Amino acid sequence: MASADDSATATPAPALTTPLDAALNSAQQALESENWSKSLELYDLILDEAPANWEALNNRGYALHQIGQYKRAISDFNRAIELNPNYAIAFNNRGRAWSQLGNEQKAIEDFSQALKLNPKSAAALNNRGCSFSNIGANKQAIRDFDRAIKLDSKNNNFYWNRAQLFKKLGNERASSKDTARARQSLEKN
């Protein structure tokens, strides 16, 4: 199943005023272009100068997650959450890392916390749905996929994930319907 991420900050980058701002902008651009090694290099430099920058910690954790360094990513997400306990994105991202390590219970806890902080996070709903599916809590998984789709009906991953679950449950008709919707959504984007 495909997880959904919340890597970038929700607000546009401020006007560049300091070398740190310029470094943050460059690191964000590297992250968005999926240049993981460059983004890690830049976030390391940023965090040497500003170790309490929770967004930089989250984004470095995201890059670490993308290259399979889940435990290091969790460490960065932990620190980001410590610095800003209301940072829903970091909870969602840490949940994704826990899921990759096979700890679905911790993943579900983090996705649930992300949803307490941001009830309209379609990504957290989708991800929690994947974790519920992985532990066989299929009703909860379908509920979360349904809610994610209501919030973001253009995200084909949400349809794919629900289609896979329906298929696993033997509901070929619903699976085919969601697969068609996912393809339709993909073609529109």
Block residue for tokens 């995200």:
155
Return the pLDDT at 181. Answer: 87
Per-residue pLDDT of the chain (189 residues; tens, 9 = 90+): 767 766 544 445 555 578 899 999 999 999 999 999 999 999 999 999 999 999 999 999 999 999 999 999 999 999 999 999 999 999 999 999 999 999 999 999 999 999 999 999 999 999 999 999 999 999 999 999 999 999 999 999 999 999 999 999 999 999 999 899 888 866 775
What DSSP character marks residue 13? P
> What are the backbone angles phi and psi of residue 55, rounded to the nearest 5°?
-70, -40
Closest CA to 63 of 84, 87, 98, 38: 38
Hey, how many other C-beta atoms are within 10 angstroms of the C-beta on 144?
28
pLDDT of residue 112: 99
Q: How far apart are CA 150 and CA 129, in angstroms?
A: 14
Contact 52/70 with Cβ under 8 angstroms? no
d(CA 136, CA 147): 18
pLDDT of residue 1: 72
Indicate the pTM of the whole model: 0.88
How high is the pLDDT of residue 152?
Answer: 96
